[in-house]
Structure 1
Amino acid sequence: MIRFFDFIFSLFGILLLWPIGLVIYVLGVFDTGSPLFKQQRVGKNQRPFILLKFRTMTVNTQSVATHLANSSSVTKLGSFLRKLKLDELPQLINVLKGDMSLVGPRPNLFNQEELILERSNRGVYNSLPGITGLAQVNKIDMSTPKKLAEVDAEMLESLTVKKYFQYIFATIGGKGSGDRIKE
């Protein structure tokens, strides 16, 4: 049932929000010259997939977890996009393709070994990664791998259609703040 909702909402989201995405893309061309950010992430069953986002950091920023990136790497446009969570819009394509769900654990990088171990031990990778979830609406990010893996597992064990919608509406309503960036 959740895959059905993912497909319908991502399809309609893309169809309705493409004008906003186009504006962000054009602004991104002027901001960094490369408005789309593509990065290999850990997906379901630890299979790699390419995550899509609007670029919020300079092109030469090192590929590390967000909490390890330096805040000076974030562009002015990027700061605005992060604040409104608009940098996540291209992930609707990942959801439509079936690489991600709207609700699930945020996909991590393959170099986040501690988080991979914690999530593996808790069966988190048996599910699709998501754009939002329990950890995100409660401001728990990848800087605390054990706690994040525990909350991800808790969410997946108790995920219902009702909670699926609660996490989505909480995120749209502005709850949560995304991953911290090093000052």
Structure 2
Amino acid sequence: MAEPKRKATLQAPHAEKKVNPNNDARYLFVKRCIDVTGALTGLLVLLILLVIISLLIKVEDPKGSIFFSQKRVGKDGKEFNMYKFRSMVSDAEAKLADLLAQNETTGAMFKMKNDPRVTKIGKFIRKTSIDELPQLINVLKGDMSLVGPRPPLVREIKEYTEHQMQRLLVTPGCTGLWQVSGRSNIGFEEMVNLDLAYIETRSIKADIVIMFKTVFMLFGSKDAY
């Protein structure tokens, strides 16, 4: 099904620019079909890997849960529970306050390369982005898409400006332009600009390119931590 041509470039918009999302009905329909098909296929193909990772997480920390559920903010400010494989110690959230001063990124996000809360298996699944695979369940539920801006934490959006809040104009994604453009080495403002650029120019072609780049990152991106 053909979709209307849009400007192909994904250049970051100027600060404080009002974003006009690509909400073409045909694009959104095809995107949802790809999301459901891709999520189901991914869960089936990776089933053995998911079981192995689950066992390794349980062996390292028998008292902890296999999955980690965290409240995130999606399209139009709607909150939902996002799923991940647990890559940190069980009381990671309680220890966050003591580490905020060591934040290695800018803006509302928290990133720390040698985060002491990360487990041994957690380091591996983060490096390969395997910890993100349970989000395929979020995709099936419609909370997330395969491609889109990463959903922020509730505490993060409390610090957002009106310009930054435009990240919430579309359904968030498991991967996106930010993740394939440098990820943890990119500051918060640049991440916002990349997300807004994607929102304006998103298309099936752009989504497919981002998904292919993401697959290669599963083999171990040096920018992931």
Please state which band the TM-score falls in when normalised by the shorter chain.
0.7 to 0.9
Q: Deviations over 1:88-141 (max 9, x none)?
A: 110000011100011001111011133465431xx2212111111111111245
Q: Which has the higher helix share?
A: 1
Equivalent residue number for residue 127 of structure 2 = 83
1:73 deviates by 0.9
Give the Cα–Cα distance (whole angstroms) in 1 for the partners of residues 121 and 161 of structure 2. Answer: 31
- Range with greater deviation from structure 2 (145-154 or 6-15): 145-154
Residues 164 and 137 of structure 1, relative CA distance in 2, 3 Å threshold:
same
Residues 98 and 148 of structure 1, relative CA distance in 2, 3 Å threshold:
same
Query: CA RMSD for the aligned pairs?
Result: 2.2
What is the identity, as a one-letter code, of the residue corresponding to 1:150? N
The question of whether the paired residues in 1 share the 8 Å contact of 2:127 and 2:224 is answered with no
Give the Cα–Cα distance (whole angstroms) in 1 for the partners of residues 161 and 91 of structure 2. Answer: 26
Q: Deviations over 1:142-181 (max 9, x none)?
A: 973322211100011111111101101101112855665x
Give the Cα–Cα distance (whole angstroms) in 2 for the partners of residues 178 and 61 of structure 1. Answer: 22
Equivalent residue number for residue 56 of structure 2 = 27
What pairs with 1:41-60 in structure 2 (closer than 5 Å)?
A: 41-60=72-91
| Aligned partner of residue 159 in structure 2, secondary structure | helix
What pairs with 1:1-183 in structure 2 (closer than 5 Å)?
A: 1-32=30-61, 33-62=64-93, 65-67=109-111, 71-112=115-156, 113-115=158-160, 117-120=162-165, 123-141=166-184, 144-174=187-217, 180=225
The question of whether the paired residues in 1 share the 8 Å contact of 2:185 and 2:223 is answered with no
Please, which runs of 5 or more residues in structure 1 have no aligned partner? Answer: none
Aligned residues: 178
Higher RCO, 1 or 2 (CA under 8 Å, sep at least 6)?
2
Give the Cα–Cα distance (whole angstroms) in 2 for the partners of residues 59 and 69 of structure 1. Answer: 19
Residues 59 and 116 of structure 1, relative CA distance in 2, 3 Å threshold:
farther
The question of whether the paired residues in 1 share the 8 Å contact of 2:74 and 2:80 is answered with yes
Higher-Rg member (1/2): 2
Residues 6 and 94 of structure 1, relative CA distance in 2, 3 Å threshold:
same
| Aligned partner of residue 78 in structure 1, secondary structure | helix
Give the Cα–Cα distance (whole angstroms) in 2 for the partners of residues 99 and 82 of structure 1. Answer: 22
- Range with greater deviation from structure 2 (168-177 or 37-46): 168-177
Residues 55 and 23 of structure 1, relative CA distance in 2, 3 Å threshold:
same
Residues 89 and 11 of structure 1, relative CA distance in 2, 3 Å threshold:
same
Residues 3 and 118 of structure 1, relative CA distance in 2, 3 Å threshold:
same
TM-score, normalization: structure 1? 0.88
